[in-house]
Every structure is written in C-alpha cells, then in structure tokens.
Structure 1
Amino acid sequence: MWLTSSSIGRKLVMAVTGVCLVLFVTFHCLMNAIAIVYPAAYNVICEFLGANWYALVASMGLALLFIIHIVYAVWLTLQNRKARGNDRYSINKRPATVEWSSQNMLVLGIVVLAFLAVHMIQFWAKMQLQEIRGVEGVIPPSIGTLFIQEAFSCVWTPIVYIIGFVALWFHMNHGFWSMFQSIGWDNATWLPRLKTIACWWTTIVIALFIAQAVVFTVNAHNDFYKKDPVLRDQYKEVIGKVVGIPADRFSYDQVPTAEDLQKAKTEVDNLRKNPQMMSQYGVDAAMLENQLKSIEAWTSILPFVDYLNDAAENVEAVEVEAVQEVQPEN
C-alpha cells in the first residue's frame, strides 16, 4: 500500500495525523480555559464527555491517531537513520538551515508521551476510565474541577506539566509547518508564512497551557475548587441525584454519619426478619427495600460529602483563628 510502502506516503500519514492532533491540543486548551473562566461549565462538559458512546468513539479515534502517529514517527526515524548509515556520525555540527527540534523530534515526542501518560493517570484514568469500569472513587468521575484540585495540589505537577509543555512547543512548532511541507507546500513564498503561523499558533496555545497550569496550581493550593460557593452548589446537584434529594433541599450540615447509616441498616435488617414488627410499625417489604436503597446511596456518596465538608471545616477554622488574632485582648 502506498501509504506504508512509500516514504512520501508515510510522511503524508504523519502530516494528516499531526493536523488532527494539533486541532485536539487546541480544543483541549480552550476547554481548560473554561475551567478557569467558568469552572461549573467545565464540569458540565466533563459530564457530557464522560463514558457516553460518542465520547468513547471520539476517545478511541483519538487513541488511534496517537498510535498511528507514534508508529509512523518511529518508522520514519529508523528509515532515515538506516538511509544515512554511518554518515550521520561524520557530522558533529548542526547545519544552520536545520532546526534543533527537527533533529530531535523523536526525543521530544518521547518527552511529550511521558507527560501525556502522567496527564492520563491524573485525569482520564480517574474520570472516563472509572465510568467505563463502573467503579467510582471518592470523587464522582464527572466533577473535573476536583480532579484539577487533586492533581495540582501536588508540588511536582506544575513542574512536570511545564516541562511537558515546553517539549510540546518544540515538537508542535516544527511538526506544524513540516506537515505542510510534506504535502508539497514548501516553496519560498509559503514556507516562511507557514513557519510564522506555526510559531504564533503554537506559542499562543502553549502559553495558555502554562498560564492555566499556574492558575490551577494557585487555585488548588487555596482549595478553591472545594470552597467556591457556585461549585459547592453544583456538587449538591450531584449528591442529590445519588440520594434522591433536590439540590435546594440538601444541606452539607444535615448529612448522616457512617455510624447513623450503619445503625439504620441494622434496624432495617432486623425489621425484615420480623414480620410482626413490620406489621407493628406499619411497613412492608417494599418500603424497607426502598430504605435500604437510600442507605446504600448515602453510603456510596458519603466519602465525597465528607471530603467536601473537611474542606469547609478547614476554612471555618482558619477564619475563626483569623478573627481571634484581630480581636484585641481585654
């Protein structure tokens, strides 16, 4: 097949997959911007892009693009090295017309791939993958802002991300214009223009990514995504859906404890074993079954509620301490 047997065909595949990946990176940057401007809307998008069929199809398509791009990149690199043979060792100085990134695209790609692995472990593995598996941790998979909170609370996260973004800048900047060169747009008029467009596009996207990482880090260390009133109201809706309570009737202060739930479950179990007592209390099996479902729902969401309440309690403690420091001694 021409796309695999020909060097030009392989470069064309690299170019097409590269265009798609550049567009995805740009989309991802814009989506991250929403997390800064309107965090609640970001969670809505995360829920929309959960484990729904269209999101899964898009994820599989994106994964396929990455795999093809990586395989062809390695293939072309090995092909070029084989073609040069020992001659590539005879020149130690890089020609003035050859960019540094051009000679190190594979290395840059490996750095970007390592960064991508970290990013996927911090987000995709805890969000969409959890939904696919039908398993949830403390934080529901649809609440992306709290995964930002957890990821960027780590000291090393912004460092890793900035290193990854710098590598991505070099990789994307060179790849952006060279993919057009691969399809024949390499004349003296268009190539300089494409290089300029590539530089501006890549610089804007990566600069936004770095700025977003800084904002996420500052917000995370201030527990913004746990304390923000708008977000906490949105989290109420998530909790309410699980336990069957409207968000406007739910209060973080009126949440049963684990001991309360265990006690209630024991009482329900005892009633189910005693028909006479069921008759005495005027309940039937269906009512007890509903109570058990309610207890199970609260039990499943309680760690998340405790997670949010711990943040609120820490805020209140700090505020009380600050007030006490301001008050003069009698």
Structure 2
Amino acid sequence: MINQFRKLNPVNLILLLAYTFFMRMAIFYEMPQQLNFDFLEPFARLLININLENAFSPAANVFFAGILVFVQSLIFNRIINNHNLLSKPSFLPALMFVTGSSLFMPFMVLSPALICNFLLIWMIDKFLKLGKSANSITTVFDIGMIIAIGTLIYFPFIAMFLTIFLALLLFRSFNWREWVGGLVGYLTVFFFLAVFYYWNNNLSSFYQIWKPLGNKFPSVFKINYNDYLVLIPVAVILILASLQLRENFFRSFISTRKGFQLLFFMFIVAAASFYLKPDFRTWHFLLCVPPGAVLLAYYFSNAKKRWFYETLFLLFVLSVQYFLFV
C-alpha cells in the first residue's frame, strides 16, 4: 500500500477515499446514540449565531467528519508536495493524515478541532512561504487573523500564536514590524468582537474570555494507559522517522530543515495547549495530526526495505482497528 501511495497516481484519490471510511468502520459499527457538535466557543456566539449542536444525526455527523478529513488530507498533501518537504511528491502525506485522524473514536466525529485543522493547514502553508517572501509583514498579519478566527472556534487554538514568533526566528532576520504584524492581525479580529460586546452592553463578559490563559499547567494527569496503547506503533514510526531525518538533515535544503523544525514546535504547542480548556476532550489532539503526519510520511517516503515498511504500516493499521473495536 505504501508503494502505491508513493506515486502521484489519480487512482490514489479513490483508494484514499475508500481508506478514509475503512478506518472509520468501528464507529459505524458502534454508532453513538447522540453526537453534539459545538461549532463555536460560547463567547463567539454573540457575534456569530450559528447553532449546529443538533443539526446532524450521528450517522451524518460521522459521514461529514470523514469527508472533511478526506478534503483536508488532499489540501495538506498538495501543500507538503509544493514545498518539497519529502524526497519526492507523493500521496503519503494524505495517507498519513487520514491514518492519524483515525487513531481514536473521538477523532472521527465533527468537532471544533477538526474545523480548526483547516486553519492549521493554511497556517503551515503560509509559514513555509515566509523564507521565500521579500516582505512577509502581510503574511504574518494574515496568520495572526487566522489564529484569531481559530480562537473563536476553539479557544486553545490561541496557543498557536507562539508559532508565529518561532517561525520568524527560524525563517526571517529580526524585523520588529513583522513581530508586531502578527499581533495586530490577531487583535484586529478581537477588536471587532470587543466592539460588538460593547454595543450589547456586555463588555465585562469580554474580559472573561481570557481567564483560561491564567490556568496553571496541570502537574497530575489521570490517564487510562490502555486507551493509548495504539500510540505505541506511532511512537515507533516517529522514532524511525527522527533517525532517518537526522541522517539526512544536513543533506537537505535549509528551507526543508527549518520546515521540519517548525512542524516539530507546532506539534508540541498543539499537544500542550489542552490545559487552556478545563473540560477538553480527546479530539483536541487532532491539532497534532498535521505536523505529525509530515514526519510519518517522511519515514515512509525514505524507507528502503519494502518488506519492512509495508509490514510496519500494515501492523500500524491493524493495531488501530484492533484498539478501536476493543
């Protein structure tokens, strides 16, 4: 299967769509009785009143979530290929994106994090263009606005603001206008939100939006380790990918090295931002899928022994299915 997706073959579009729903067999087999979809944070509903909480039946919810993941994987695949992060263009980024988006049952339903992945993929594209742009102030401003829109959908997305500064450190020489540009872009969106709160005589509630930023990072975690055994093959592949990347690191283009460094930081920020939502759900970690999928794809793109990488991927898929059904 890996060898098939190493090629930019149009047939892979059909195979990828079939694979997307194959990885969702478990949730179709045990369909939840009710699935809620909160499209926006409560503080944003005063500005945008869209109520989709009970708009979809459970089957429709899962189906449309699958379609969104498929569309995201194609957009993601095109961006990674356009920026030459892998050894050659392929459908592997899309394949790994779909696989990563199927690790847990909560990943397979409509959620704010799933919607935010469109914004995250868009950000990755803009970040990777920073080093190629003569004047990146506009790009950084746009990224700031994208993060602000993501914050309206899912508040922990605000943590992605840190990645603007990390990207500027990696791709650009210091220019204070660029550093301020991202902040201005972010504040532009929330300025209009503040004005709307003011018009509705509710400005005091606007200040409550930022209270989660004062949360302390939890020192104690309650984890059922059996639920996360599926991550063992993921960890193995990530380790192999890291070793492969280290071996080829200084033979890669500088832009490629910086791109992988940025994606690593995005992965860490996305994972750590869960503490900004006291009642966070497992689907929060969908935000880790885009940066993580690139590293997974990098390994399978550069692996040499076909029998090994094909077997490894097969075991990976089978383990995901096993833990989903069990």
The bucket for the TM-score relative to the shorter chain is under 0.3
More helix by percentage = 1
Of structures 1 and 2, the one with the larger relative CO (CA 8 A, separation 6+) is 2
TM-score where L is the length of structure 1: 0.24
Larger radius of gyration: 1
TM-score where L is the length of structure 2: 0.24
